[in-house]
Each structure stands twice: as structure tokens, then as C-alpha cells.
Structure 1
């Protein structure tokens, strides 16, 4: 693989594929947001060799970071048997075990590089830890009525239930008293569970969405408080608390080394950094806050908005990013689409439901969709749900998974509904009574207006669509191109090619899309979900 020029870090896309984005004659391209180094940042765990292993759930990728030398290596690539690793743990033989939250599996990779699945059915498995003294493997589940389990490391699907009926558990750790300690994220508590008897005791409360626990060398319990962005040490004998590190909300996990450094990951913005435990000061940054996607970029009254799985962001013309809503902390959905309609933010959940943001409170209210219950909106998918959101003539447009086009009021009232003629709607936009829809599965793009639909052809996997006065703009992820086609289909121009659109390897569908939108100045804004960048195309 050729290296990028200068000292620029290799982007996550370039770990797999060389890319040299270029434009056609008469076009220029600039970068609004630089590429990201990580696909995501979830569970982190220090290996015996001193490197920090990082699980990147939405990229189905494991990295290892030598923080002293800032060397990042791939230890389990996208496309391997590890599919969506969340938390990770090591045993004494060098095997890494992964909790695959979204797949409900426990998988692993041995020191010799071979992969295996240890448990096939473990709903919402999240935290995972190995007792360093005995090599016994334990997991918990992040769901209502979750369980704490011991897993046999040598026999597939051999599971012992230690405790059950415990809600929303996350990254756990073995304590010095030989009990398992684990946070209850939404209850704001930490529980201690005896692995032999199953006895449960609440040991800490009044926490702000605790997501992970570890023990400091001095024996204190250390807790990540995700919604306030704080890592806190708690003396369990006195209850005294000390803030160790303060950073952006969205902390996922952390680990502590013997030199007094603490390594912290943030699942909202895919950041990983090392801090001094003694002073709380930032020491080394692997990855600053960036996009997990972006999953959709759309024009707003000022700049752009972007859906980014765990957050909704505003991006100004210079690329400055503000996360206006950090989801999954107090909102029960992951966002794969976002638009602004009449100044109101609207988000599409991965499950296929539409939410509207209430500006006064910042809360999100579901306005369209059939699923119900706290679990469904995060983990399930509605086969007849929404697959795309867009704006046309200042109205909210919704594309359904089974192909219908719906025009919605912001209170969820259906103003109109009609079939598009496509199997499914991947992306949708509109202008001047015309609606454009794409179907990535069939390679189709249709312009719907008065009269018969106009089919635009020649695409491999068309995803994002946008409209100018003269052209339909298509992000063709399959060809890694941005293409401009006249509304009647007679004229066609490839504006940009070799873009980092889509993930560089086939992996599970998590709802991400390569997207395009039109800026106020007429330039084309491209959401490059492959490397986390945003590019701007201008006809010169």
C-alpha cells in the first residue's frame, strides 16, 4: 500500500484500499472535514505487550495502539470472524474474546490468529472480562432483564447463569474482593455480584450513565460516567469520590496501566486518548473526535447537519463540528439519517423510525414508526419501516423499506403516500414538485413528477441523491463516484471518482450511506462514509 504524502496519518479507509480522489475537467474538490483514523472506539484493553487494543464496533475491526510511539496496527481486520466487537478481554494464553453486542455472540481470536465463535446466542452481550487469577471468563448483557454469565472458554455454548433480571449492564471487572463489579447504565449504579452464589449488592449510586468500571492500583473502583464525560475514582470503604479525567460526553471504556496512565475511548465521536491519572492532563491523542460515518449529510439553514450513529451534528462551512445531540445516552435509538425541515431537526433511527427534536428540551419525539419498547428502537429493525429521510419543497419526505414515498407533517401526519416503483428506497430528495429516489439493491434512480417516472441508469450501487436546478447528483457507492445526470437522463457527467465511499470491505449493514447534498452556494457536499471525511465539489 502506498503511504500518504507528508506526515499525515493513514485514514481508516487506506488501511485496506489505496484511494486518490480526483475530479473531472472543469471541477475542483476541497476537504471540509479531514478523514478519520478509526472506524469507531468502543472497548479498550491493554495487552501484555503494552499496546492498547481497541474494538471498533461499526467497522468490525480491532486495532492495537503503541501509544509511546503512536503506531497503530490492525490486529483483526474487517471481514474476519469477529463481527461487530464491542468489549474485549484477554486470557493468559493471549486469546482475545469479544462481545458482539449487536449479533448476540461471543467470539474470539487465538494468539496464532485463528478465530472461533464461543457462544451463538447471548442477547445484547456487552461487558466481557477474564479473571486474571483464574482465567475464568464472564460476560453481562445490556438489555432489560439482563444476565451475568460465566462462559466455558473451551466448550462452545457452555454457559452458567450467575444472576439475572438486571437491567442495562455494561463493561464489568473482577474486584479485589473476588466479586464482579458492573455498571447499570440507565439506573446510574454499580453492582457487585458474587460469581459463586449470585448474590447482588448495589455499591455505588447517583452516577451519570456509568458505562465501564475498572480497579486502580490503589484498590479504588474507577467508573466512566458517559453523559458528563468524566472518569471517577470511588473509595468503596468511605464513598469518597475523585474526578480523574474530564472530557467530552460519550465515554465508552477505559483501561489503566502500571505507569499511572489512563486510556479512554469515546463511542460517540470515535476518539481515543491517554491521560495522566495523577493530574488528569491529556498526554497523547490517537484519534481526535470525528465521524463514525457520516451516515447522512444534509443541508441546513446554516451549514449542514449530519447523522452519525450515536449523535446528530452540525457542521459549518469550514468543517467545524458540533454535536448537538449525543444519542444512546438518554435517547433509545441510533441515527442513520438526519434532515432539517423548517428549522426543525428530524432523525431516522436504524430501526426505521422517524424522530423530531424538541428545541426547548432537546428531547427527541417519535413521530412515525410502528415499533415500541426500549429494546426495539435500538436493537430491532422494522421490515416495513422507514429507510430514508429527505426534504422537498420544505416538506419532510420519507422513503420506506418496501418502496413507498411518504410526505409527512412534522407531527407525523401522513399528507400523502404512494409507491415509488422501486423495491426499496435507499435515499430521497425533492425540489419543485419533483422527487428523486434511489434503490441501491437494483442500481435504480427515479425522478418522480407529473407524468411517467424518468429512470436514470448506469449506476452500480446508487445511494445518496441531491437535486440542482439542472441535475440529479448521485453518490454511487458501488463505483465510488459522484455523478451528475440531467433530469431527463440525456446528459451524464462523472464529477469525481475514486472517493472513499462505503466501507473498504463487505461487512454487516449498519445503515450507513454515502450521501450528497447541495450547499447554499451551489457546491456539492459529499459525505464520505468510508473514511469519515466531507468533501466539497465545485464546478469551476
Structure 2
């Protein structure tokens, strides 16, 4: 077994802020935890466990007393964490709370949605008071030297501001590249981060609206923070890690970037390996580097949960329940089918047929070259992994029943008594199954039903990431459901991803 890439100490990086102890605190939406980074040594320490009460931490800020406030986007909550580590809910029933800012003892939160609102919250009691409405996906915001709140409208490429005491909001800048975060450095200069693939940072003069920009080359910038020496550090929701940015753009990795999951894997006919990593599609180089092929703020059609290669094209299944044909050469894509619910495993044969598992609805679906959809199975408990053999037979793993089935007029059990079987793949005449509960790769013979352990593995899921979808309604903004994927490469090796490993593993026979 070989590891094709090294995992990052940070599994995604979203909101960041320096705490009173001088450490840089990092919210990790996909991971579900919060870490503290020593920006001198690069050491990373978990301070809020992914198994704790905060489900999807996205942004954070500190008040004058050292209390940390965190937006928990998907459940719609805002939390306060004291310096001693006690967590309490400050507000709930908000809709996608994301940006957060403190002004002395005052607390402000914006919603990341079309028609969102900006609120003042009262940590010691009282209902939220709306200050502004009509936000077009508000995100990371900050109070400026003038005492006003500055915040982005992501989808209209604008920066706005409003008095913390209310009143009419004002446009500060327009035509800003995909603004995701508004930050002031220690000298009071306004900088706006772009979440686009080039990682643009724009300087804005609030008085005139004039702008200038430089490019960092970091896709999916999320947030920025400045230390006491006014050194700029940025996070990336696409690639994780923390990067120090120089005055003209040169960067230095404080915490190395890496894969968020990964959540799906495939190899094309030349053996090139691709990994579906939620916010990006990555390829792995011979030197062990993961390189983005596309990102969700670029040419990817949506949040990507799995991938399978068919000829020169990649078939992508997305968090929004769609199948897309994607050309990694020119970045073009075509939506083939939609509405199949939250996806898991995907497979394809030499004739271009694509088969996918929809665990929430208990179905296995087949999509032919003309995009016609056929149900291969319905009423399964929790189908997650799928594989096709050379004869066109379809196999599916059902993680709830612990079985692997061969589908036909009547499903046939080919393996039973497995502990959470997920990814499956066929190599030669043998069927391989990832048994997540017991941490092993199982080798099965479909003809005889015999099985044995082929390899002990450390596989798992991102801690605390339960099934994000319900009733077959996928949500691209939620955390992925746990899934360990398995795929066969043209050279006969097996490729493994598990969203608790941080790497793609290759197992050779």
C-alpha cells in the first residue's frame, strides 16, 4: 500500500482570527472542528472537537473579554466559547449565518443567502435586531476604522457598509472579483478576498471606491487575519491550510494545504488519478501533490461528491443530486440527469453506462449514453457502493444490512455479515469491499460467495460527520455523508479514499 499524497493538518479552513493568546484560530466547516495554529512553528492543535456540539463552524471572532463567537451555518446557530472552553448557544433559527464581527461587547452576524439579513445579537439575552436586509450572500465582515460594518455581497460583486446603529446601507465598491471576505489590516487598509480560482485580493479606498488588486494563486480564499506585525494570513475552503501573504502577493505556507476528504476517486484509461474533494476536483501527480483541476467557484458545475472516468470525460455526481459529464481538458460540462437525491458510489462500463447509488431513497440507477435512466433496484436499506463487471453485472453494497448484492430480476447475496460495507470494486474475477466498521479490505469471489481479508486498513469518516441529507433532499451547503470509496485502476491496482484519511491510497496486488 502506498499513499499518493500527504494529508494536511487542517481539513479545510474557513473563518480565521487571532485570539488573545496570539494563536490563529481556524474554523473548519467540513471537519466540524476548530483548531489553533502557531503561525511561527506551524503547529496545529484541536481546541473544539468535531464530535462536540458545534456542527458546521464557518466563521469566528473574539470580543474584548477573549470570548470566541462562532457561526454554525447549517443548524443556523451562533455559539459563544469562553476562554475555559465552555460552549453555549447565543442565537438559533437563523438562516445560514456566516459572517461574524465584534465591536467591543457588541456582536453582529450576516446570513449567506439570497435576500439575507444582517443582525445585531445580544449574547446575554434579547432577540436579534435586523440592521440590513437584501444581502446577496453575505459573508466574512469586519468593523472599519470609521466604526461602520463592512460586508460583501458575494453574488453582485459589491462591498457594502452600514452604521452599527442602523440606517441606510451604502455601497463602498463595485465590480470586485467574487468578494468573500472584507478585512482591514492593522494600518486600516481595506482588503477584499475573492473566492475565485485565482485567489485575487483587492485593495479598496472606501472614500473613492477605487481599487487595485494582486493575485495569490490560492483557489477558494475564505478569510484573512493580520498579526501584531501586520502580516497577512489567509485560509482556503477549497484546499485548507494557512498561507502567509507578502505585501505584493508572494506567499509562504504556514500550514500546508491538502485534500478536504477526499470523497471519491477514479483513474482514467491512462492511469491518471482524480479525486472528488467536495469543493474541488483534484488530480494527483507522481510527486505526491494534489493539484486542482476545477473548483466550484470556477468551471465545476457544483459541489462534487464522486467521480468516474469514461474515455476522455469524467462523470461527476454532485451534492445537489445531479450527474454531469465534465471534460477536464477544457473545463466544459453538461448536466445529464438530476433529481436522484443524495449520491454515494458511482461506476461505469466500457459502453459508457453509468450506475450510481442513491442511499437516502434506497435506489440504484443506471444512465445510458442517451441519458435515459433505469432503476436497477429499489427498496434497498442503504445502498452506497456500486461496481460493474465485464459482463455488465451490477454489484451494490448495502451498509445498513452488511451485504453485497448482485442485481438482476431478483438480487442475489454474494457477501453477508459485513460491518458497514461501503466502496466496492472489481479487479479481474474478484470483488473487493471496504469494510469500514472493521477497518479492512475484503476479497470476495462472486461465484462461490467465499471471502477473506485482503488488507487491514485505517479507514473512517470525518469525525462527527453523520448523514447530512434527509428524505433524499441533498443540500450542497451541508457536510458530506460518510463514504469510503474504492476504484480499480487500469494497471490492476485499487484506489481508496476515505473522508477520514486525507489521502488517496493505492493498493497493488
TM-score (norm 2): 0.91
1:70 counterpart residue number: 42
Q: What SS does the aligned partner of 1:186 have?
A: helix
2:320 paired residue number: 351
Q: Which residue of 2 aligns with 1:3?
A: none
1:307 pairs, out of 238, 255, 276, with: 276
Q: CA deviation at 1:332?
A: 6.7
| 1:333-344 correspondence to structure 2 within 5 Å | 333-344=302-313
SS in 2 for 1:145: strand
The alpha-carbon distance between structure 1 residues 256 and 500, as it changes in their structure 2 partners (threshold 3 A), is same
Q: Is the 8 A contact 2:306 2:317 kept in 1?
A: yes
Shift in Å at residue 46 of structure 1? 0.7
Q: Is residue 2:316 matched to residue 1:389? A: no
Per-residue CA deviation, residues 151-175 of structure 1 (Å, 9 max, x unaligned), is 111127x211111122111101111
The 1:360–1:500 alpha-carbon spacing in structure 2 relative to 1, beyond 3 Å, is: closer
Structure 1 window deviating more from structure 2 (482-491 vs 356-365): it is 356-365
C-alpha separation in 2, matches of 1:222 and 1:388: 41
Aligned equivalents of 2:69 and 2:186: distance in 1? 24
State how 1:120-519 maps to structure 2 within 5 Å: 120-131=92-103, 134-155=104-125, 158-227=127-196, 228-243=198-213, 246-276=216-246, 278-288=247-257, 290-302=258-270, 303-316=272-285, 319-328=288-297, 333-357=302-326, 362-370=331-339, 384=341, 386-393=343-350, 394-400=352-358, 401-409=360-368, 412-414=371-373, 416-419=374-377, 422-431=380-389, 432-449=391-408, 452-488=411-447, 490-505=449-464, 507=466, 509=468, 510-519=480-489
Distance in 2 separating the partners of 1:508 and 1:94: 34
Q: Partners in 1 of 2:288 and 2:330 — Cα distance? A: 26
1:34 corresponds to 2:22: no
- Which whole-Å deviations, capped at 9, do the CAs of 1:18-42 have from their partners, x for residues lacking one? xxxxxxxxxxx11211222112111
Q: 1:340 deviation in Å?
A: 2.0
Counterpart for residue 17 of structure 1: none
Alignment of structure 1 residues 9-20 onto 2, 5 Å: none
Distance 1:473 1:196, change over 3 A: same
1:94 aligns with 2:66: yes
Residue 47 (structure 1) shift: 0.8
How far apart in 2 are the matches of 1:428 and 1:152? 50
* Cα 1:358–1:198 shift into 2, 3 Å: farther
**Alpha-carbon contact 2:366-2:376 (below 8 Å) kept:** no
Where in structure 2 are there 5+ consecutive unaligned residues?
469-479
Q: CA deviation at 1:249?
A: 1.8
CA pair 191-239 structure 1, distance change in 2 beyond 3 A:
closer
Pairs aligned (count): 493
The answer on whether the counterparts of 1:514 and 1:529 sit within 8 Å (CA) in structure 2 is: yes
**C-alpha contact (below 8 Å) 1:328/1:334 kept by paired residues:** no
CA shift at 1:385, angstroms?
5.0
Secondary structure of residue in 1 paired with 2:30: helix
CA shift digits 1:223-254 (9 cap, x unpaired): 10121202222222344434466132210111
In structure 1, the gaps of 5 or more residues are 1-28, 371-381
SS of corresponding position for 2:500: coil
Residue 4 of structure 1 corresponds to which residue in structure 2?
none
295-304 or 328-337: bigger deviation: 328-337
Between stretches 351-360 and 507-516, larger displacement belongs to 351-360
Shift of 1:201: 1.2
Give the conservation status (yes or no) of the 8 Å contact 1:108–1:116.
yes
Instruction: Give the Cα separation in 2 of the matches to 1:139 and 1:249.
Output: 25
Matched-pair contact (CA < 8 Å) for 2:345–2:356: yes
User: CA contact under 8 A between 1:311 and 1:323: conserved in structure 2?
Assistant: yes
